[in-house]
Amino acid sequence: MLARWIDNQVWLGAAQAGVTMVAALLVVWLTGRLKLGLKKEILISLGRGVGQIVLVGFLLTVIFSADLWIAVPVILVMIVAGSVMTIRRVRNIPHALRISFIGISAGAGLVITVMTLMGVIEQELTSIIPIGSMMVYGAMNTNALMMERFRSEVTSHVGQIEAGLALGASPEQVIRPYSRRAISAALTPNINGLRSLGIVWIPGAMAGMVLSGQNPAYAGFYQFVVSGSIFVTAGITVLISIVLLRSQVFSQAEQLLLRSEADN
Amino acid sequence: MTRQKHHNAFISVEGLTYAIDGQPILSDICFEVQVGERVAVFGPSGAGKSTLIRLINRLDEPTAGMIWLNGEDYRQIPPGSLRRRLGMVMQAPNLFPGTVADNLCFGPSAHGETLTEAEIRALLSGVDLVGYENRNVSSLSGGEAQRVNLARTLANKPEALLLDEPTSALDQAAKNEVEETIKAIIKSQNMTFILVTHDRAQVERLAERVLLLEAGQLVADGSVKEVLDARSVD
């Protein structure tokens, strides 16, 4: 209906967002009536959500008109932001920012580069940046999950880890079961996502392609490219991060450095 | 103290100091332990007793001071090798999930050795747990778990045992069992040991020499009778 009245695509988007905002405000009003205490939080989230994504939209309009090389600094900024957000979610891990940055850069950088050079991701900013952002976002979440789980596994098994060291085992040997659990826990949501792909949900990339009139079968294949690449990125990221993490939680003399805050 | 003197003792501790955030836990500790000596580190809670044997096992790094093992700077010995030579038994058994045999095999397998079934049986016989090799560790009592812990440490064929309050978390019956096991090991293997305890009666039962620690300082070092008679520490 809106499209019949509005010709300009940007104004059409604004009108569609406006309708969505009205629906969201209705929910705010209802939660206010139920006295859930969420009114302020929802209003702030709605405001931030619309502001940030519209700003990014305008920014991308400018970026998409630039040369292809602009993708490198844009993705780099995303990796830095992702690394900073990761360390906000993990506590008490030395050099967590550096570990996250190296892990996400290696994972996302490698996959984006290889996929772009092979032509799996089209060599256009309109492909590289959105798909790259999904990979960085996926790597960030998986890495944060892995780091937090690793910290929690280590700090809740200090006795067994030190018993293993006292028996002459190397740090790699004593930490192995906890590293495995951390990686497994972090990758599980990705694996579940791949398993339920298309059955439980149609992810954003495929939904967007179908909405814009692309062949749904091609959209399906492409969605697998995106989801599979996100999984590969996340896998490489956590495998690199765990190696770096292991080197941070033991001293040169093979002493356990990471303990719970209560032990310090 | 000359280098030659370090060669004479099995363990030489020299000016050992440990502090956390500037707070001293141990200050300038000096002593020597000869091969076959049975030494108790005795003192009230918080005296730094456990810290002392953690430093000897190199689970923590001293702020200052040195430890020599048979005259060799212990920092020159790879940590895994040092820890196998000085077998540490902690207060909590901290057994690994799995069977008793899995636990006994852990230390040797960490450096590429395999325990034979006969060796496993002999280790279990030494701690009076014959036939326990296939028992899951989750089914063991506290005393049994601590005896498996002892056998697990002995599986590495250590030159000395560092026992950190090995019976303090156990009830009286289990405590007696573990003490009897320790006595049997000492008798059969004539092994050097350093026992950390705050139990005066245990010192009298197991040790021949006492290092008395108070507030991170070594305040007395002598025979059990000399030190305990001179101090009214419980």
Interface pTM, i.e. ipTM:
0.91
Q: Quote the pLDDT of residue B8.
A: 76
Is pLDDT of B6 > 70? no
3 state DSSP class of A167: coil
Cα–Cα distance for residue pair B149/B155, rounded to 1 Å: 10
Query: For chain A, what is the mean pLDDT?
Result: 89
Find, among B135, B39, B143, B133, the residue nearest to B93 by Cα.
B143
| Confidence grade of residue B87 (pLDDT, cut at 50, 70, 90) | very high
Q: How many residues does chain B have?
A: 234
Which of the pair, B189 or B77, is modelled with greater confidence?
A: B77
Residues A97, A136, single domain; the answer is yes
Q: Of A63, A88, A116, at which residue does a domain stop?
A: A63
Work out the average pLDDT over A69-74. Answer: 92
For residues A20 and A116, membership in a common domain is answered with: no
pLDDT above 70 for B149: yes
Instruction: Tell me which DSSP letter residue A170 carries.
Output: -
Residues A48 and A170 in one domain: no
Q: What are phi and psi of B139, to 5 degrees?
A: -95, 5
Per the structure, how many domains does chain B have? 1
Q: Are A154 and A162 in contact (CB under 8 A)?
A: no
Residues A23, A112 within the same domain: no
Residue B117's pLDDT is 94
User: Tens digit of pLDDT for each residue in B167-211?
Assistant: 987 888 888 888 988 888 888 888 899 999 999 999 999 999 999
Does position A72 have pLDDT exceeding 50, yes or no? yes
Task: Assign A97 a pLDDT band (cuts: 50, 70, 90).
Answer: very high
* CA separation for the pair B7, B98 (Å, rounded): 42
- Specify whether A87 is located in the same domain as A216: yes
Residue A132 and residue A46 in one domain: no
A185 and A249 housed in the same domain: yes
Cα–Cα distance list, B227 to A27, B105, B183, B207, B218 (Å): 77, 40, 22, 12, 12
8 Å CB contact of A160 and B80: no
Q: Report residue A100's pLDDT band, with 50, 70 and 90 as the boundaries.
A: very high
Tell which of B63, B94, B154, B163 to mutate to test the A interface (max A CBs under 10 Å).
Answer: B94
Would you tell me how many other CB atoms lie within 10 Å of the CB of residue B64? 13
Name the percent of chain A lying above pLDDT 90.
50
CA separation, residue A114 to residues A107, A121, A219 (Å): 11, 9, 21
Ranking A48-52, B117-121, B134-138 by mean pLDDT, the lowest is: A48-52
pLDDT tens, position by position, A191-240: 998 888 888 778 888 888 888 888 888 888 888 988 999 999 999 999 99
Return the minimum-mean-pLDDT range out of A184-193, A204-213, B1-10, B145-154.
B1-10
**Cβ-Cβ contacts under 8 Å, A255 against chain B:** 58-61, 79
pLDDT tier at B5 (50, 70, 90 boundaries)?
low
Output the pLDDT for position A168.
Answer: 96
Q: Tell me: the pLDDT tens digits for B54-67? A: 999 999 999 999 99
Considering the domain architecture, whether residues A10 and A128 belong to the same structural domain is answered as no
Predicted confidence (pLDDT) per residue in A106-151, tens digit: 999 999 999 999 988 888 998 899 999 999 999 999 999 999 999 9
A133 with A204, same domain? yes
Contact B58/A166 with Cβ under 8 angstroms? Answer: no
Contact A164 B96 (CB under 8 A): yes
**Please, which residues have CB within 8 angstroms of residue B41's CB and are 6 or more apart in sequence?**
B49, B52, B53, B194, B195, B196, B197, B210, B211, B213
Do residues A140 and A37 both lie within one domain? no
Range of the domain at A5: 1-63
End-to-end CA distance of chain B: 33
Query: What average pLDDT does range B32-40 have in this prediction?
Result: 94
Structural domains of chain A, count: 2
Per-residue pLDDT band for B7 (boundaries 50, 70, 90) equals: low
Owning domain of residue B175: 3-230
- A10 and A126 share a domain? no
**Partner B contacted by A168 (CB < 8 A):** yes
Q: Give this prediction's pTM.
A: 0.84
Q: Structure tokens of B212?
A: 């008395």
AA letter at B176: N
Per the DSSP assignment, residues forming a β-bridge with B162 are B88, B194
Domain at B185, CATH number: 3.40.50.300
Contact B94 A165 (CB under 8 A): no
Q: How many CA atoms lie within 13 A of B67 on its CB side?
A: 25
Q: Hey, are the CB atoms on A168 and B84 less than 8 Å from each other?
A: yes
Longest dimension (CA), chain B: 52
Candidate from B7-11, B89-93, B207-211, B230-234 with smallest mean pLDDT? B230-234
Q: Which residue of A has its CA nearest to B151?
A: A167
